[in-house]
Chain A
Amino acid sequence: DAGITQSPRHKVTETGTPVTLRCHQTENHRYMYWYRQDPGHGLRLIHYSYGVKDTDKGEVSDGYSVSRSKTEDFLLTLESATSSQTSVYFCAITAFAGRNTIYFGEGSWLTVV
């Protein structure tokens, strides 16, 4: 158990509304990531963070923003949700660079109608 909690676990929202997903970790891990999972695509990196206020874009960052004001929380925001953002969102952590194990949260199922 890597102490990762995602919330909400399930959400249905309307097109055009903002949505924030939260990833909370209890073990002071420095590196955190947001991925989305869609059929046929595996997991794709949205944004990642190497520490407080230190974030970078991944391969599918359009339409998403992130914030990390505390080590333990990494927030993913959909500024104006679209149906193409219906997906399963996973948060992940690694303890420090070079560490050979990356753990995932349980996932957040988001449906945009």
Chain B
Amino acid sequence: AQKITQTQPGMFVQEKEAVTLDCTYDTSDPSYGLFWYKQPSSGEMIFLIYQGSYDQQNATEGRYSLNFQKARKSANLVISASQLGDSAMYFCAMRVSMDTGRRALTFGSGTRLQVQP
């Protein structure tokens, strides 16, 4: 089964501190991609960062980095220097092969992050 698990329904972090959002995945596909999205209270889905299964280095995008541990099947999102605007729902997703052999995203249930001043 191909599955994404986010075990933290909610997280609190102090402004300017770093925070790690956990994501584990399960797939037998040797080629896959891992994504993180941010969903603020306004509802839109904002792409943050991507990691390919064959990428040798962890992905980084500004204050976002993805801690990719392939053997552990984990793809945790690290947000450095949290800001109040980082308060949102965060989703981990994996691009997987469907029954047809074509690919689509499967999502975790999300983590709600609240940044406190």
The verdict on A45 contacting B105 (CB below 8 Å), with A100-B33, A100-B50, A101-B50 known, is yes
Output the nearest chain B residue to A107 by Cβ-Cβ distance: B43
Q: Is B100 an interface residue (CB 8 A)?
A: yes
What is the bound-complex CA distance between A48 and B101, given in angstroms? 13
A78-100 interface bits toward B, Cβ cutoff 8 Å, 1 = contact, 0 = none: 00000000001010100001001
Chain B residues lying within 8 Å of A90, measured Cβ to Cβ, are 45
What is the bound-complex CA distance between A35 and B91, given in angstroms? 14
The verdict on A104 contacting B44 (CB below 8 Å), with A42-B91, A42-B109 known, is yes
Q: Is B107 an interface residue (CB 8 A)?
A: yes
The verdict on A88 contacting B106 (CB below 8 Å), with A42-B91, A56-B98, A100-B50 known, is no
What is the bound-complex CA distance between A43 and B108, given in angstroms? 8
Q: Is A58 an interface residue (CB 8 A)?
A: yes
How many residues belonging to B are interface residues under a CB distance threshold of 8 Å?
A: 24
**Contact: B103 with A45, CB < 8 Å?**
no
Question: Which residues of A in the span 30-86 have a Cβ within 8 Å of any Cβ on B?
Answer: 33, 35, 40-45, 48, 50, 56, 58
What is the bound-complex CA distance between A23 and B33, given in angstroms? 25
The verdict on A42 contacting B110 (CB below 8 Å), with A102-B47, A104-B45 known, is yes
Chain A residues lying within 8 Å of B103, measured Cβ to Cβ, are 97
| Smallest CB separation, B22 vs chain A (Å) | 14
Output the nearest chain B residue to A58 by Cβ-Cβ distance: B104
**Contact: B91 with A43, CB < 8 Å?**
yes
| Smallest CB separation, A15 vs chain B (Å) | 24
**Contact: A42 with B107, CB < 8 Å?**
yes
**Contact: A45 with B104, CB < 8 Å?**
yes
Chain B residues lying within 8 Å of A45, measured Cβ to Cβ, are 104-106
B77-109 interface bits toward A, Cβ cutoff 8 Å, 1 = contact, 0 = none: 000000000000001010100101011111111
| Smallest CB separation, A51 vs chain B (Å) | 11
| Smallest CB separation, A76 vs chain B (Å) | 15
Residue numbers of B with Cβ under 8 A of A are: 4, 33, 35, 37, 43-45, 47, 50, 52, 91, 93, 95, 98, 100, 102-110
Residue numbers of A with Cβ under 8 A of B are: 33, 35, 40-45, 48, 50, 56, 58, 88, 90, 92, 97, 100-104, 106-107
